[in-house]
Amino acid sequence: MFCPLVLALAATGTASAADALVLHSPDGHLRFRVAVASGRLTYDVTLAGKAVIEPSAFAILIDGVNLADGVRAGKVETYKTDTTYPTFGVHSTAIDRSNGARLALTHTASGAAFTLEARAFDSGIAFRYIAPGPDGKSRVPDETTEFRIPAGSTLWSHDLEGHYEGEHKKRAIAEVAEGDIAATPLTFRLPSGAAYGSITEGALIHYAGMALKAGPNHEFHALLGHAQPPSYPFRLRFDPADITRLARPAAIQGTITSPWRIVMAGDLNTLVNSDIVGNVSAPPDPKYFPEGLKTDWLKPGRAVWAYLDGGDKTLQEMKNFSKMAGELGFQYNVVEGFWRNWSPAELKEFCDYSREQGVGVVLWAFRRSLGTPEARREFFDRLSAAGAAGAKIDFFDHEALEVIDLYEDLLREAAARHMVLDFHGANKPTGLSRTWPNELTREGIRGLESSKTQRAVHQATLPFTRMLAGPADYTPMHFGPRRNNTSVANQIASAAIFTSPMLVYAANPRNILSSPAVEVIKTIPSVWDETIVLPGSAIGEFVAFARRSRDTWFLAVMNGIDARKIAIPLSFLGEGAWHAVEVRDSGDTVELKRSDVRRGDSLPFDFVPGGGTLIRFTK
């Protein structure tokens, strides 16, 4: 239960020598405390009395001056949020319920005033910096905010050599070397093993993106895009002059508002269902989305894609793909860059034909070709004239401010023409898809395009790491050697676990149509009404999700590298009898098993290494 006394004491006006602000989550289990000691501004986070983030220093730099060092705390303005809103993805209704506050602060030496805004949710905390400035005056922000993870914790992270397409490593916090870089979200298990935390950011608008850099005592510090080492994809595709330019911190005019720094906390189900990233982001602009997510042209769906599993790069073959997409009940056909070889008449012919099949066309482009307003207008006008439904834009490969701004520029131009977007070679999601819901998905993940990944552990890690930030275009489900050490049933289950409002399948639609499981695959939705992480799930070892779409439930399981016997209760089902269709492994393929079950039943499984299952339950 929320403790109003603590908040009231913190809100009385001038801060004490110790606590400047204390917030509790609405359920009372989580505490966020801000303190000032000897002019140094710090914070800590606890869950049920146990440390999630130990005392850590705030650090917001403006023109090289750390405003949080040598600070005087002033008045606190408190508020609450308590609302819901529709969303695409893990569930259909997001809950925004928090206790919030704005703490007035003054940097003593310079006299500069700024604000720390904070919110405590049941699933974690968020805070941001607001530094007012006169219109027209440019200043350069930077940040080294500290996140001190408790000793004895275990973490999962990857570096930025592949930008956001890394493979997470499991390490004890004591094994982290000074200078190690971690992409966000960074997920960690607390020493007790009973709870988890994850660090990321939200509402990344007109600011450089945040990764983390390890300090000498196993703490992490914010590392903004200009200070991040350029990734291999960026070095491969861009010039040395681009690397030099983006390594310079970018100036911002007027008020500087940082993204929200987010620490999720709770069990795995709490983290997967956390809405904090969306909650701190702005709602859709009614100018572009007059009915919000119900705007008529804004349609999530499934997609075919000719890239990883055959398919000629011809107009006729792409027509074939659109025809098969229609047979599957899919809504999109994502076409790589070879479409540029077609004449305007051929492109329009293709889009018209696809539309007759009930399929929208999404066309690939290199973001470098869209760097100016004129180029963006020309590109989207060309697609609009052809009747395309949207674009897949690739190779961002950096988190510097100018690249972050480009995402919003592209979304705005697309929305003006009623088009959806899929970003590839991208950074992690930060809530932009709430503000611009025509962003149906983005990559920012090591997906099936990476052929050398030890997939069983990797796929069992992603739902609790990268995907905590938002949807991911993993391009799931391949039946050939690319599935590596996972079974076919595991691959099919991945399509029901990896959330993506535009769910792009890696498998050739011919192979989907000929699969013994095609009747189940056809019914896997791209958005969900409810998600439950089931007991037994463990990062990198075992994933079991119960997911609901309207009145249909799915049980999706991906096993790691160890054989596993487990019984899964069906307590998530409603009352009465349910008809179950199970996709289960059978050698190098799958078979279907049909049965009738009830919520009081428990299903036994004997999973092989890398195995899995997908079961659909209908009344």
Q: CA torsion angle for 163, 164, 165, 167 (degrees, to 10)?
A: 110
Average pLDDT score over residue span 194-206: 97
**Choices 2.60.120.260, 3.40.50.80, 2.70.98.10, 3.90.45.10: CATH for 4-279:** 2.70.98.10
The DSSP secondary structure of 124-188, one letter per residue, reads EEEEEEEE---TT-EE-EEE--EEBPPTT-EEEE--STTTT----EEEEGGGPPTT-EEPSSEEE
Average pLDDT score over residue span 120-144: 97
Residue 167 has pLDDT above 60, yes or no: yes
- Per-residue b or e along 316-347, where b marks 16 or more CB atoms closer than 10 Å to that residue's CB: eebbbbbbbbbebebbbbbbbeebeebeeeeb
Average pLDDT score over residue span 250-265: 98
Range in 4-13, 164-173, 575-584 the model is least confident about? 4-13
Question: What is the Cα–Cα distance from 482 to 489, expressed in whole angstroms?
Answer: 14
pLDDT band at 379 (very low <50, low <70, confident <90, very high): very high
Question: What is the Cα–Cα distance from 537 to 326, expressed in whole angstroms?
Answer: 35
pLDDT at 169: 98
pLDDT at 506: 98
pLDDT at 93: 98
pLDDT band at 11 (very low <50, low <70, confident <90, very high): very low
pLDDT tens for each residue of 543-590:
999 999 999 999 999 999 999 999 999 999 999 999 999 999 999 999
**Which of 600, 591, 514, 606 is closest to 557 using CA atoms?**
606
pLDDT at 17: 43
Listing from the earlier edge strand, what are the strands of the sheet with 332-335? 439-442, 420-423, 390-394, 360-366, 332-335, 301-305, 502-504
Nearby residues of 347 by Cβ (< 8 Å), 6 or more positions away: 339, 386, 388
- Torsion angles phi and psi, residue 581, rounded to 5: -120, 115
pLDDT band at 18 (very low <50, low <70, confident <90, very high): confident
Average pLDDT score over residue span 434-461: 97
For residue 223, which amino acid is it?
L
pLDDT at 16: 44
pLDDT > 90 fraction of the chain, expressed in percent and rounded = 95
Average pLDDT score over residue span 269-279: 98
pLDDT at 192: 82
Residue 7 has pLDDT above 50, yes or no: no
Residue 378 has pLDDT above 60, yes or no: yes
pLDDT tens for each residue of 493-529:
999 999 999 999 999 999 999 999 999 999 999 999 9
pLDDT band at 452 (very low <50, low <70, confident <90, very high): confident
Residue 471 has pLDDT above 90, yes or no: yes
**Which of 193, 197, 242, 253 is closest to 54 using CA atoms?**
197
To which CATH superfamily is domain 285-444 assigned?
Answer: Aldolase class I (3.20.20.70)
Domain boundaries defined on the chain: 4-279, 285-444
| Mean pLDDT computed over every residue of the chain | 96
Using an 8 Å Cβ cutoff, are 564 and 538 in contact?
A: no
Question: What is the Cα–Cα distance from 352 to 388, expressed in whole angstroms?
Answer: 9
Residue 463 has pLDDT above 60, yes or no: yes
pLDDT at 29: 98
pLDDT at 13: 35
Token pair for 502: 């535009």
pLDDT at 297: 98
Question: What is the Cα–Cα distance from 207 to 187, expressed in whole angstroms?
Answer: 23
pLDDT at 466: 98
pLDDT at 391: 99
Average pLDDT score over residue span 337-364: 98
What stretch of H or E contains 347?
A: helix 344-356
Average pLDDT score over residue span 97-120: 98
pLDDT at 218: 80
Listing from the earlier edge strand, what are the strands of the sheet with 578-586? 530-533, 542-549, 552-559, 612-618, 578-586, 589-597
